[in-house]
Structure 1
């Protein structure tokens, strides 16, 4: 498994960021991606820590989504804020995660992130449609730890 610096090529990083921007055009939801090599904690617990560390809980509608990847651990988690969890169906996160994992299993990590991000954006659009006064509350860049 590659290190975090080798996980996505610069072109793949650009594709992931473009997917975030495309997804956010249709929703007030905020999507971020965090990639790190290793964590001592289980992926979901670590993703929740990163979510807070990135200030993703501070969005107005509490509708942030974090895609977390542990490269050397081969771990992946998606965490959403409480505003999302209050309104989405129970399989929302599993369906979104499955869209990404199907690509991951074939070693196509950027494609998996793009698929998951676009799916999350489509689903968030139903509950948090974009409004003319929406502001991009979080950066669209990929954070690395």
Structure 2
């Protein structure tokens, strides 16, 4: 167990998880958040891909997992979508979502940035991956930490 202060309060974590659950009511897409201090030895995209694979986010039926990766000390952020998403969405699909997150991050509102981004991702994904009445939650909604 890390002795460093958590990046988010317990309340903020609950709000982020609630945002994931709400967003997933609009889409069959699966959203996860991963927080860690740094991505030593890799570039940020490579690290996000490693985390995506470690979390087995590619194991959704429609290959429609989305990872919000944040390296807090390195001040880096990536949104990474699985192949099923990237095959059907237009270029720059994630720009609106990324901009919503970054705008809040610049103001020091890290939890709200993720909440806004998760909400936007859910709204964007419902166009391509509609929620089905028999949809199951294929990936954990809890924040993973490194």
> So what's the TM-score if we normalise by structure 2?
0.95
Q: CA deviation at 1:6?
A: 2.4
Cα deviation digits, residues 39-87 of structure 1 (max 9, x gap): 1212111111100000000100000000000011011001000000011
Cα distance in 1, alignment partners of residues 17 and 45 from structure 2: 22
Structure 2 partner of 1:21:
21
**Alpha carbons of structure 1 residues 22 and 35: separation in structure 2 relative to 1, 3 Å:** same
Partner of residue 118, structure 2: 117
**Count of aligned residue pairs for this structure pair:** 143
Greater helix percent: which structure?
A: 1
| Unaligned stretches of 5+ residues in structure 2 | none
Give the secondary-structure state (helix, strand or coil) at the position aligned to 1:7.
coil
Show structure 1 runs of 5+ residues with no match: none
Q: Does 2:107 match 1:106?
A: yes
Match of 1:10 in 2: 10
| Deviations 1:94-134, CA, capped at 9 Å, x for gaps | 22111100000000000000000000000000000000111
2:31 alignment counterpart? 31
In structure 2, C-alpha distance between the alignment counterparts of 1:4 and 1:19, rounded to whole Å: 25
1:1-145 correspondence to structure 2 within 5 Å:
5-40=5-40, 41-145=42-146
Distance in 1, matches of 2:116 and 2:132, equals 24
Secondary structure, aligned partner of 2:77: strand
Instruction: Tell me the C-alpha RMSD between the 2 structures.
Output: 1.2
In the aligned structure 2, how far is the partner of 1:100 from the partner of 1:63? 20
Question: Aligned to 1:76, what secondary structure does the other structure show?
Answer: strand
CA distance in 2, matches of 1:98, 1:34: 18
Give the C-alpha shift of residue 5 in structure 1.
Answer: 4.2
Find the aligned partners of 1:142 and 1:39 in 2 and give their Cα distance: 17
